[in-house]
Each structure stands twice: as C-alpha cells, then as structure tokens.
C-alpha cells in the first residue's frame, strides 16, 4: 500500500518530522543546563506530539531511533552506545515502553476520530439525500443525482470504475426488455442481465454481498418496502476491501427505492381516485338520463293509453289534445336522445370535431326558426353584433348548444320573462349568450342548477342536467368554456369561443 | 290516378303507421321490408307496366336487414330520376351530405312527424322529372318575386340589385326551391370544382343575400340554413 501519496498525507509526514527536528534542536540547546533525566522527558513529549501526525509504525521506529541516539548523545559515557549505570538502563527501557504506549494511544485516538467523522459525513449525506427525495415531485428525475453520488463514493477508492443505473417506470414486464428500463450509463449484455437479476430478486450481487461473489462488479438493488424499482452497477471491483463504502452506497440506493415505490403508490392512488370520480360522474349521468326519459315517457304512456282505452268516450277536442301532448313529448325524447348520443360521441372524440367556417348569424338564425314552435308567447328574440367574424367549429353542435340553452331558459324562467340570444365579441372571444330576465327565484335556482351540474350531481336539476353537460362538452370541444353569470335582472349562460385567423374573402363585386 | 309510392322500411310498426297515414292522404302504397324485397318489387312493377317510372316516389330506410338502402339509391340513379326520400335514424351529417350528393332528394332523420314527411314529399314530387320538364324559373313568396329568365328580383315591385355571384347562388337555390342543396353542390355550380373547400364564400354571400332579401336577417324566413349540410330556399307554397 502506498500510504504516503496524497498531498494531505505528505503534509502530515512533514509536520511529524518537523516536530522531531524541533524536539532534537531543543534537546541540543538545553544540553548542559539540565541533567539527562530531565531531557529524557522532553524526548517522550516530542514522541507523543509527533504521534498526532505520523502513522503508527513510523512513530515507533522514530521513537526507537531517537532513544538510541539519546543514549549515544546524552547518556554517559557520551559518544558511545555503552550504558555505565544501571539506573540509566531502567530509564531508557521505561522511556521506550512509555513512548510505545503513548504513540499507540495517539494513533488509536486519531483513527477513532477519523471514523467518527466519516460516519457523521455518511449520515449527513444520507439525510440530505433523503430530504431531496422527499421534496421531489417525481423521484425518477433524481436518478442522475444518485448516479453522481455513487460516482463520488467510487472515486474515493482505488481502481477504475464504470457506473450504470437502471429504473423502470411502467409495471415490470414479464420478460427482460431493454426498452422497459430507464437507463443511465453504458453496460454490456452480461451486465444488463445481472442488473435485471438484481432488480427482480432485490438482492445485491458481487464481491462482499454474499451473492455471486466472483463478479467483478457490484450490483445494488433500489429496494423499497415491497418492490425493487431499479438497480445500480459499480464495475471494476473484485474484492470487498476495494469498496468499503458498500453499506453507504446500498443505503443511498435503498432510499431511492423507497422514494420510487412511494411515488408509484401515490400515482396508483390518484389513478384509482380519478377512475372512481369518472365512474361516479357516469353513474349520476346515467341516473339523470333515465330520470329525464321517464317524464316524457310517462306523459306519452298516459295519453296514448287514454286514447287506446277511453277513445270512444272522449270528445274530439280531448283526443286532439292527447295526441298533441304525445307529439310534444316525443319531440322532447328526440331532443334528449340526440343530447345523450352527442355527449357520448364528444366523450369519445374529445376535441377532434369536424370543423368548418361557420357564421354565427346563420347558426342563430336556424336555431331561432326551430325554437319558435316552442315559443308561442314570443318571448324569444335575437340580437347579433354587426360584422361578426366567422367562427371555426361544428355548426350542428353549436346549434344544439344554443337550442339546449334556449330550451332551458324557456322552461326554467318565469312564464313572463323574456329570453334573448346575444352574439358579440368580448376580449378577443366570440360569445354566444342566452339571457333570461327572470327575477329573484330564477337566478338563484339557475345558479344552483349550474353548481349542482358542476358537481356531477343531477338529482336536483330536474332534467336540465344532460343538456347542460352536453353544452359544456360542446364549448370545451371548441376550445371554449360555458359560463353562468347573474345579470342585473336575470341570468346569462355564456359560451365563450376562441377566434381564429379569418380565411381570405373573394374579391368584392358590385 | 293516384300516385304510387314504394315504402322500404324494416320496422313493422313504423311501416304500418306510415302506410296507414299515406293511404289516408290518397297515395297508393307498396311496402318492402328488405333490400331484396324492394329490388323484387321494383323489377316486378317495371315488367308489369309499360311505364318507365315504376313508382312516383320512394321512401327509403338505410339500415335494412340485408344491406344498406343507399345501394338501391345508387342502382336506381343510374337509370331513373324517381324522387327518393331517405328516412333514417342515422344523424351523421357526413352521410346526409353524401346521400344528397348521390342523388337523394331529401333526408329525414327519425323520428319525424307525418306533417314534415308529407311536406317533403310534396316538394320532391314537384321537382320530379326536372330533366325533362322546363326547370323552375320563377319563384314567388309573399311580396318577393324572383324571375330567373329575366334576371330580375323584386319586392313590392321594387327591383333589388344583386351582384352576379349573388344572383347565381340565388338561382341555384330557386331551381331546387324547398329542397336542401348541399354546400358542395352550391360551391361547384356557382364557383366551380376548385372551390369545393371554400365554405366561407357561401357564408359571406348567403349573409349578403339575406341582408337584401330577408325582413330580419337574424331570423331568416326564406334562405334557410341546414346546419352542417347546406341551404334550403323556403318552398314557394309553404
């Protein structure tokens, strides 16, 4: 072992030798003023102080050499190695023993301090790493940091090392597929096999691990509580002595493993809760749909069975009325069916609607014409801002949106209130608004209606739920949003649609 | 002689109901429940009669047990111009447009009222045999008169000035008054084949026409929009 190679070690050697030099200078300087007995204590002191810096063997060697030199220089007869007095022999032997004991103690103490420091450093490293993982939104992104930390551990030891780190994000595939892994570093096919084995068994492999000790690399699993999320490799290690930081490296890896597992569990929980939420919305929607179907069906059933069973006893006028209500309710069912179908379709295609350049004026015009038959008291009117730009969208869907909003407004506002369709530009958006002038109750009720509908609870909406859900889906499919606003004298459902760059118009004619 | 109709519809209830309603209106109604039956009936009647047109009008359902009703339409259109009205539960605009372009006279989405069906039938029958008879050149509705032969549009005897494109567009709609004319048909006939994608031209010119001809352009009564499909000029007799 070449113990004195690093600059730090050379410095320690220098200081140790300097202490010895200083001690001898002092001895020579004090020679003649004190007797050798006193000077010998100075020698012991020098030896003890130098042991603070010098390694054990050198300290002992220096002590013995110093003792012999002391004998030669200071113990009478001076200038010889001979010892003439018995007490001097005892003195020299005692000095030797004391020197050895002190040097040994000093070096032991030093080693203890060093170990404690190393432990503290390792603990600190683990703590900061743990904090970092805890604060990370996705520990997967910290793979690079773990790689660097392991690299630093490996750099503290001799030899050339190569590192690799693999993790997986998807559920672990049955077969070893390279593309299922998230990889940092380069590995050979054999090393990849070992990484897979390490990952699947959750066992460390390689020298000092108790498994596959003959390997020339360490494979450390990233272990969580019940699942191994990845594995790290440090190559170029043939014996455990070459990598004393094994425990520390494994601890870092395990922390990563726990963090990855925790993150995975959190994600699964979130997914499960999203699914549960979607299922809940679907269920309430289904409940709302079947509820909405029942009401018109009940009217149709009542009227039709009355015609069937009481036909002859009814007056012509009564029969006419019953037939009329069957037609009206059937029409309501038709609209409802169309809403449900459209909602399912939008759910499936998202915002991939079949768009074209459409004129808001035309859409409003065709809707107004159709809704007139539901508006015998002429409560409905339309007002469009002049020179509106064309909008990009699906005219059938936008017509359906307006129809639903108008239908709701006619049905849920007081019978004398007016319903107005407004189209205007606002903050770079085209707004299709349906306003009613229902006072008091209508506002509060529609507010509730919208809130209830937003919560996905359709029990209190009395049939408007599916229609509103569709309106919102249509607005969103067009990149817009449906909003409810209370005006000074009523409520306003507003569909905000984004504007698009207009197409080139043909040349003007006269 | 009463008019002969062929009703192709596989649902028994609907077939019976429509048949009764049409009989009441004085039509002679033959029914078919499948594509094969419709083919057979068509061939048979053609053999029996010397008349080239076996039926005066065909009401055709699309989803038939042995095939799609559109097959019959395509086959029929190779030889004859018998008016065909599609009655279907399919609402997709794409198909509606395709069938109209393939020669269907009209498209009714189930459910529909008898009144609506009868109105569409009247329009289709009036346009029957456009190829042989003189095309409609005059349209009167309220105080509006459109005289295609003389290039004149007037209201209350007051001339209304139209640009050449506006006039061509209006003329195309007048020729099929009461019927839907698809975006495609309008763009090709008025502007030309290469303008197929220019739906926004239609939006612009229809807006201008409405501004000149309608009392309230925001709520048109004459130049009607069929969202996603095309336009329809109100039938002069409605």
CATH of the domain at B84: 3.40.50.2300
Q: Where residue B53 falls among pLDDT bands split at 50, 70, 90?
A: low
- Does residue B133 form part of some domain? no
Chain B positions touching A356 (Cβ under 8 A) are 199, 228
Percent pLDDT > 70 in chain A is 91
Q: CB of A422 within 8 Å of any CB in chain B?
A: no
Inform me whether the pLDDT recorded for A232 exceeds 80: yes
Is CATH 1.10.287.130 the classification given to domain A270-344?
yes
Q: CB of A382 within 8 Å of any CB in chain B?
A: yes
- For an interface test with A, the pick among B219, B220, B232 (most A C-beta atoms closer than 10 Å) comes out as B219
Contact A417, A382 (CB under 8 A): no
Task: Give me the residues paired with residue A179 across strands.
Answer: none
- Residue B201, pLDDT score: 92
Over residues A187-192, the mean pLDDT reads 86
Inform me whether the pLDDT recorded for B47 exceeds 60: no
- Residue B18, pLDDT score: 94
Inform me whether the pLDDT recorded for A163 exceeds 90: no
CA nearest to B206 within chain A: A362
Q: Where residue A3 falls among pLDDT bands split at 50, 70, 90?
A: very low
> If you average pLDDT over every residue of chain B, what do you get?
87
pLDDT digits (tens, 9 = 90+) for A479-502: 998 888 877 777 888 999 999 988
Q: Where residue A441 falls among pLDDT bands split at 50, 70, 90?
A: very low
**Cα gap A102→B69, rounded to integer Å:** 110
Chain B positions touching A354 (Cβ under 8 A) are 93-94
Q: Where residue A447 falls among pLDDT bands split at 50, 70, 90?
A: low
Among B94, B126, B158, which residue terminates a domain? B126
Q: CB of B113 within 8 Å of any CB in chain A?
A: yes
Inform me whether the pLDDT recorded for A216 exceeds 80: yes
Q: CB of B219 within 8 Å of any CB in chain A?
A: yes
Domain boundary assignment for chain A: 7-127, 139-268, 270-344, 350-498
Domain that holds residue B71: 4-126
> If you average pLDDT over every residue of chain A, what do you get?
83
Q: CB of B218 within 8 Å of any CB in chain A?
A: yes
Over residues A262-272, the mean pLDDT reads 90
CA nearest to A327 within chain B: B113
B61 & B158 share domain: no
User: Which residue from A428, A421, A405 is spatially nearest to A361, judged by alpha carbons?
Assistant: A421
**Cα gap A151→A140, rounded to integer Å:** 18
- Residue B130, pLDDT score: 47
Inform me whether the pLDDT recorded for A478 exceeds 70: yes
Inform me whether the pLDDT recorded for B114 exceeds 60: yes
Inform me whether the pLDDT recorded for A459 exceeds 60: no
- Token digits of residue A187: 């590995």
- Does residue B40 form part of some domain? yes
Percent pLDDT > 90 in chain B is 50
Chain A positions touching B91 (Cβ under 8 A) are 338, 341
B108 & B154 share domain: no
B118 & B158 share domain: no
B92 & B193 share domain: no
**Cα gap A427→A422, rounded to integer Å:** 16
Over residues A455-475, the mean pLDDT reads 68
B55 & B166 share domain: no
More confident position, A424 or A463? A424
- Residue A9, pLDDT score: 80
Inform me whether the pLDDT recorded for A460 exceeds 60: no
Is CATH 3.30.450.40 the classification given to domain A139-268?
yes
Please tell me the total count of domains within chain B: 2
Inform me whether the pLDDT recorded for B136 exceeds 60: yes
B31 & B111 share domain: yes
- Does residue B131 form part of some domain? no
Listed in sequence order, the residues at least 6 apart from B4 whose beta carbon sits closer than 8 Å to its beta carbon are B27, B28, B30, B45, B54, B55, B56
- Residue A1, pLDDT score: 39
Q: CB of A359 within 8 Å of any CB in chain B?
A: yes
Chain B positions touching A361 (Cβ under 8 A) are 207, 210, 217-218
Contact A100, A63 (CB under 8 A): yes
The interface predicted TM-score (ipTM) is: 0.83
B53 & B165 share domain: no
B37 & B95 share domain: yes
- Residue A448, pLDDT score: 60
**Cα gap A117→A130, rounded to integer Å:** 20
More confident position, B48 or A342? A342
B111 preceded by a cis bond (ω within 30 of 0): yes
pLDDT digits (tens, 9 = 90+) for B59-95: 999 989 998 988 889 888 887 778 999 999 887 778 8
Q: Which residue has the tokens 């057979």?
A: B40
Chain A positions touching B203 (Cβ under 8 A) are 357-359, 362, 390
Fold classified for A350-498: Heat Shock Protein 90 (3.30.565)
Among B73, B95, B126, which residue terminates a domain? B126
B17 & B105 share domain: yes
- Does residue B62 form part of some domain? yes
Neighbours of B86 (CB within 10 A): 24
Among A22-36, A227-241, A275-289, A326-340, which stretch is predicted with the lowest mean pLDDT? A275-289
- Residue A332, pLDDT score: 85
CB contact under 8 A, B203 and A384: no
pLDDT digits (tens, 9 = 90+) for A353-367: 888 899 999 999 999
The pTM (predicted TM-score) of the whole model is 0.64
Among B126, B153, B181, which residue terminates a domain? B126
- Residue A168, pLDDT score: 80
Over residues B162-191, the mean pLDDT reads 92
pLDDT digits (tens, 9 = 90+) for A57-74: 888 888 888 888 888 888
Over residues A462-477, the mean pLDDT reads 79
B152 & B187 share domain: yes
**Cα gap A367→A382, rounded to integer Å:** 10
B59 & B32 share domain: yes
CB contact under 8 A, B224 and A369: yes
For A456, how many CA atoms within 13 A lie in the half-sphere containing its CB? 11
Inform me whether the pLDDT recorded for A465 exceeds 70: no
Nearest to B93 among A365, A369, A396 (CB): A396
Give me the phi and psi of A182, to 5 degrees please: -100, 115
- Residue A210, pLDDT score: 85
Q: Where residue B2 falls among pLDDT bands split at 50, 70, 90?
A: confident
- Residue A491, pLDDT score: 80
Identify the CATH number of the domain in which residue B187 sits.
1.10.10.10
- Residue A474, pLDDT score: 92
């Amino acid at each position: 072992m070449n113990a004195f190679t690093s600059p730090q070690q050379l410095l320690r050697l220098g200081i140790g030798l300097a202490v010895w030099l200083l001690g001898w200078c002092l001895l020579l300087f004090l020679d003649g003023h004190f007797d050798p007995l006193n000077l010998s204590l100075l020698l012991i002191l020098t030896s003890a102080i130098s042991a603070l810096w010098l390694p054990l063997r050198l300290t002992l060697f220096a002590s013995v050499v110093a003792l012999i030199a002391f004998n030669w220089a200071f113990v009478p007869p001076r200038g010889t190695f001979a010892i003439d007095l018995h007490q001097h022999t005892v003195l020299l032997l005692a000095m030797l023993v004391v020197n050895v004991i002190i040097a040994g103690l000093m070096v032991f103490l030093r080693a203890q301090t060093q170990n404690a420091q190393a432990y503290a450093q390792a603990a600190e490293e683990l703590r900061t790493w743990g904090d970092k993982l805890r604060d990370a939104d996705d520990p997967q992104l910290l793979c690079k940091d773990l790689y660097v930390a392991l690299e630093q551990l490996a750099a503290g030891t001799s030899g050339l090392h190569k590192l690799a780190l693999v993790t997986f994000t998807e559920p672990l595939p049955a077969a070893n597929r390279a593309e299922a892994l998230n990889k940092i570093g380069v590995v050979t096919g054999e090393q990849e096999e070992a990484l897979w084995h390490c990952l699947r068994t959750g066992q460390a492999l390689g020298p000092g691990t108790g498994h596959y000790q003959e390997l020339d690399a360490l494979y450390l699993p990233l272990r969580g509580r019940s699942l191994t999320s990845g594995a790290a490799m440090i190559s170029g290690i043939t014996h455990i002595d070459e990598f004393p930081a094994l425990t520390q490296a494994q601890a870092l890896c395990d922390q990563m493993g726990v963090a990855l597992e925790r993150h995975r569990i959190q994600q699964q929980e979130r997914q499960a809760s999203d699914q549960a939420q979607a299922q809940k919305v679907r269920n309430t929607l289904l409940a709302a749909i079947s509820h909405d179907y029942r009401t018109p069906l009940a009217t149709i059933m009542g009227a039709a069975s009355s015609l069937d069973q009481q036909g002859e006893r009814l007056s012509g006028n009564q029969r006419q009325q019953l037939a009329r209500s069957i037609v009206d309710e059937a029409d309501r069912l038709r609209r409802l069916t169309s809403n449900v179908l459209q909602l399912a379709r939008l759910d499936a295609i998202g915002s991939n609607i079949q768009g074209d350049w459409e004129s808001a004026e035309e859409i409003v015009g065709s809707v107004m014409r159709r809704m007139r038959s539901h508006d015998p008291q002429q409560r409905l009117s339309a007002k469009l801002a002049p020179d509106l730009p064309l909008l990009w969208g699906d005219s059938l869907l936008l017509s359906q949106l307006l129809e639903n909003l108008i239908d709701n407004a006619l049905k849920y506002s007081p019978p004398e209130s007016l319903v107005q369709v407004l189209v205007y530009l606002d903050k770079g958006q085209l707004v299709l608004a349906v306003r009613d002038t229902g006072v008091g109750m209508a506002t509060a009720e529609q507010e509730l209606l919208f809130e209830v509908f937003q919560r996905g609870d359709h029990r209190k909406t009395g049939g408007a739920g599916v229609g509103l859900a569709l309106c919102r889906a249509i607005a969103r499919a067009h990149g817009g949003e449906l909003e409810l606003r209370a005006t000074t004298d009523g409520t306003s459902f507003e569909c905000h649609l984004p504007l698009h760059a207009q197409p080139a118009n043909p040349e003007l004619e006269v | 002689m009463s008019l002969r109709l062929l009703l192709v519809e596989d649902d028994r209830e609907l077939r019976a109901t429509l048949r009764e309603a049409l009989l009441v209106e004085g039509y002679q109604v033959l029914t078919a429940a499948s594509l094969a039956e419709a083919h057979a009936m068509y061939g048979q009647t053609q053999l029996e009669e010397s008349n080239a047109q076996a039926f005066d009008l065909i009401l055709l359902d699309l989803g038939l047990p042995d095939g799609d009703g559109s097959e019959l339409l395509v086959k029929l259109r190779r030889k004859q111009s018998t008016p065909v009205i599609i009655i279907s539960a399919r609402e997709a605009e794409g198909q509606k447009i395709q069938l109209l372009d393939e020669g269907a006279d009209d498209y009714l989405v189930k459910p529909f009222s008898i009144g609506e069906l009868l109105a569409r039938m009247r329009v289709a029958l009036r346009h029957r045999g456009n190829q042989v008879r003189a095309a409609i050149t005059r349209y009167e509705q309220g105080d509006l008169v459109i005289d295609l032969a003389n290039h004149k549009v007037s209201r209350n005897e007051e001339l209304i000035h139209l640009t050449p494109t506006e006039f061509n567009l209006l003329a195309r709609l007048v020729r099929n008054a009461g019927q839907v004319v698809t975006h495609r048909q309008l763009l090709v006939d008025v502007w030309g084949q290469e303008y197929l994608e220019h739906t926004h031209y239609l939006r612009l010119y229809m807006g201008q026409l409405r501004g000149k001809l309608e009392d309230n352009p925001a709520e048109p009564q004459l130049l009607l929009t069929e969202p996603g499909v095309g336009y329809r000029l109100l039938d002069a007799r409605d």
